[in-house]
């Protein structure tokens, strides 16, 4: 390990105080590079957000003790990342207040790298770095596809101006990286790093039970396709019961307290399940991943829009749980049909039923698929630290991620 004098200093900004998949992933990513970098974590707060105990506890559990807090205007926090119609004047006033809040922090000029984790984390941080004449490296890590804001064009115009700092943009999948390159054309460097699974989640192979339980693990948002699974349970419930499937458990909640189409989705899908009499379906908001994957035999990943990644897919891979996915976006880089998992059409419930029937029949060699998926997850997680270190140093990562059969799925 390098001593603290020789290690580069990173100021990492979260865009939420909640502990979601993006936050779990960046904590593990930073853990894998902490031997060469000294990292300070900045968590947002305001009077409406509540406390950040889960996030700060997760950092401390990973021996990340250098934690600071910065004020984040409630209006900016509450708007969705898809806020194209939001009042521009309000956004700019909120942005000005946030820029002033940055100015009250420890001087960012003391850091070699300023790291924005998430879309909203980077927007006004970029402007502040211009104004403060920062001379280091800005890394903007996208955990979702960059939105088609008018601000995106303005930010790309900023990148074209003479600046003292370099701009590296990074996605959490090849799919996200490609979209970043389409939206922001003037950054200095682009790459992707898959989301790893934290070391605390022990590798284990699940023992299949006699009473079969299907799981869906997701934040509550319309594009996650949970309503399709409820409709599926209502239409195919009796046939699923004949196959020995006695539960479809939906784990999740609306973890990000922002505006947008997902605001009331949780209540809507619960009412839908009740109205349709989907008695196989139950909801659980309070389980952690280790508990979830002890309870289920099969994971359905039912997104109806492109997914930036699909961290829950890797968690299932580690725990020996077969995965069915629509395979849209980054999820399709993880689930290779009949090799690491199974793909179904997002709008074809009959094909989903037939695929489940096939999986539970003797004709499918689940053992080989589970072993392939486990090997793939291990390769992804073990490559993250090396890839991220090289990216931060401006170097290329030559190793390509392969699935369990040696087929290239990333480059």
The pLDDT confidence band at residue 403, using thresholds 50, 70 and 90, is very low
Q: What is the largest CA-CA distance in the chain?
A: 67
> What pLDDT is stored for residue 49 in this prediction?
60
- The answer, yes or no, to whether residue 259 has pLDDT greater than 60, is no
- Percent of the chain clearing pLDDT 90 (strictly above): 59
Give the rounded distance of the alpha carbon of 45 from its chain centre: 21
Q: Indicate the helix (H) or strand (E) that contains 333.
A: helix 331-334
pLDDT at 74: 73
| Number of Cβ atoms within 10 Å of the Cβ of 291 | 11
Which element (helix H / strand E) includes 353? helix 349-359
Which of 146, 156, 142, 232 minimizes the C-alpha distance to 188?
A: 156
What is the mean predicted confidence (pLDDT) over 396-409?
Answer: 52
Say whether 212-372 and 8-192 share the same fold: yes
| Per-residue model confidence as pLDDT tens digits over 201-240 | 666 555 554 469 999 999 898 999 999 999 999 999 999 9
What's the topology of domain 8-192?
Rossmann fold (3.40.50)
CA dihedral 5, 8, 13, 18 (to 10 degrees): -70
Highest mean pLDDT among 45-49, 128-132, 295-299: 295-299
Backbone angles phi, psi at 339, to 5 degrees: -120, -55
The mean pLDDT of 13-39, rounded to a whole number, is: 92
Domain boundaries of the chain, sorted by first residue:
8-192, 212-372
- For residue 400, pLDDT beyond 80: no
* Segment of 50-59, 64-73, 384-393 carrying the highest mean pLDDT: 384-393
The pLDDT score that the predictor gives to residue 19 is: 85
Q: Which uninterrupted H or E stretch holds 13?
A: strand 8-14
Helices 119-131 and 150-160, axial angle in degrees (round to 10): 40
Question: Average pLDDT for residues 316-344, to the nearest whole number?
Answer: 96
Which tops the pLDDT comparison, 90 or 375?
A: 375
- Contacts of the segment 22-27: beta carbons below 8 A, 24+ positions apart: 22/117, 22/118, 22/143, 22/195, 23/55, 23/58, 23/117, 24/58, 24/198, 24/311, 25/143, 25/172, 25/195, 25/196, 25/311, 26/117, 26/141, 27/58, 27/59, 27/62, 27/64, 27/198
Which pLDDT score is estimated for 404? 44
Contact 355, 403 (CB under 8 A): no
Q: Mean pLDDT: which of 24-38, 66-80, 141-155 is highest? A: 24-38
> Using CA atoms, how far apart are residues 320 and 306, in angstroms rounded to an integer?
25
What gap in Å lies between CA 141 and CA 177, rounded to an integer?
Answer: 10
In this predicted structure, what is the pLDDT of residue 94? 78
CB 49 within 8 A of CB 223: no
Interval 74-89 mean pLDDT: 61
Q: What is the pLDDT of residue 115?
A: 98
Question: Residue 410's pLDDT band (boundaries 50, 70, 90)?
Answer: very low
Distance CA 218, CA 315 (A): 12
CATH architecture of structural domain 212-372? 3-Layer(aba) Sandwich (3.40)
The DSSP H or E segment spanning 75 is helix 74-78
Question: Which has more pLDDT, 395 or 279?
Answer: 279
**pLDDT over 50 at 120, yes or no:** yes
Buried b or exposed e, range 234-253, using 16+ CB within 10 angstroms: bebbeebeeeebebbbbbbe
pLDDT per residue over 280-329, tens digit each?
999 998 888 889 999 999 999 999 999 999 999 999 999 999 999 999 99
In the prediction, which pLDDT does 349 show? 96
Q: Give me the phi and psi of 410, to 5 degrees please.
A: -150, 160
Of the listed ranges 147-151, 173-177, 206-210, 276-280, the one predicted with least confidence: 206-210
Name the band, by pLDDT with cuts 50, 70 and 90, for residue 406.
very low
> If we measure between CA atoms, which residue out of 49, 78, 55 comes closest to residue 67?
55
Measured between alpha carbons, how far is 350 from 40 in angstroms, rounded to an integer? 50
pLDDT at 165: 95
The two structure tokens encoding residue 26: 């960046």
Higher pLDDT, 299 or 161: 299
Q: Does the pLDDT of residue 258 top 90, yes or no?
A: no
pLDDT band at 389; cut points 50, 70, 90:
very high
**What is the average pLDDT across 152-176?**
91
Helices 119-131 and 88-103: crossing angle, nearest 10°? 60
What is the CA angle 344-316-387, rounded to 5? 100
Q: What is the mean pLDDT of residues 140-168?
A: 87
Q: Name the strand (E) or helix (H) holding 141.
A: strand 137-142
Q: Which residue has the higher pLDDT, 261 or 266?
A: 266
């Amino acid at each position: 390990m390098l001593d603290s004098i020789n290690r580069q200093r990173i100021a990492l900004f979260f865009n939420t105080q909640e502990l979601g998949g993006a936050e779990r992933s960046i904590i593990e990513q930073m853990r894998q590079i902490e031997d060469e970098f000294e990292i300070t974590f900045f968590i947002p707060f305001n009077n409406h957000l509540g406390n950040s105990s889960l996030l700060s506890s997760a950092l401390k559990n990973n021996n990340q003790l250098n934690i600071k807090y910065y004020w984040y205007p409630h209006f900016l926090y509450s708007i969705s990342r898809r806020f194209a119609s939001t009042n521009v004047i309000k956004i700019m006033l909120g942005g000005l207040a946030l820029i002033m809040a940055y100015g009250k922090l420890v001087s960012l000029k003391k850091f070699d790298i300023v790291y924005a984790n998430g879309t909203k984390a980077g927007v006004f941080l970029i402007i502040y770095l211009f104004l403060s004449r920062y001379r280091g490296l800005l890394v903007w890590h996208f955990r979702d596809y960059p939105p088609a804001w008018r601000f995106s064009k303005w930010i790309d115009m900023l990148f074209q101006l003479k600046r003292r700092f370099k701009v590296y943009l990074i996605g959490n999948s090849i799919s996200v990286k490609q979209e970043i390159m389409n939206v922001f054309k003037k950054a200095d460097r682009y790459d992707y790093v898959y989301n790893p699974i934290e070391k605390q989640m022990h590798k284990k192979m699940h023992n299949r039970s006699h009473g079969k339980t299907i799981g869906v693990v997701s934040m509550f948002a319309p594009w996650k396709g949970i309503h399709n699974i409820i409709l599926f349970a209502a239409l195919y419930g009796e046939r699923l019961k004949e196959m020995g499937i006695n539960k479809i458990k939906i784990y999740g909640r609306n973890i990000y307290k922002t505006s947008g189409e997902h605001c009331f989705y949780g209540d809507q899908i619960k009412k839908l399940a009740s109205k349709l009499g989907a008695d196989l379906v139950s909801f659980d908001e309070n389980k952690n991943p280790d508990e979830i994957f002890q309870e289920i035999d099969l994971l359905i990943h039912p997104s109806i829009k492109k997914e930036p990644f699909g961290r829950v897919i890797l968690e299932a891979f580690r725990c020996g749980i077969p995965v069915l996915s629509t395979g849209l976006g980054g999820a399709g880089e993880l689930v290779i049909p009949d090799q690491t998992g199974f793909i179904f059409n997002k709008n074809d419930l009959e094909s989903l039923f037939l695929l489940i029937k096939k999986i539970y029949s003797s004709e499918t060699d689940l053992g080989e698929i589970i072993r392939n998926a486990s090997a793939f997850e291990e390769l992804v997680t073990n490559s993250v630290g090396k890839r991220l270190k090289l990216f931060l140093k401006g170097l290329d990562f030559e190793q390509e991620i392969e699935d369990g059969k040696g087929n290239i799925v990333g480059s």
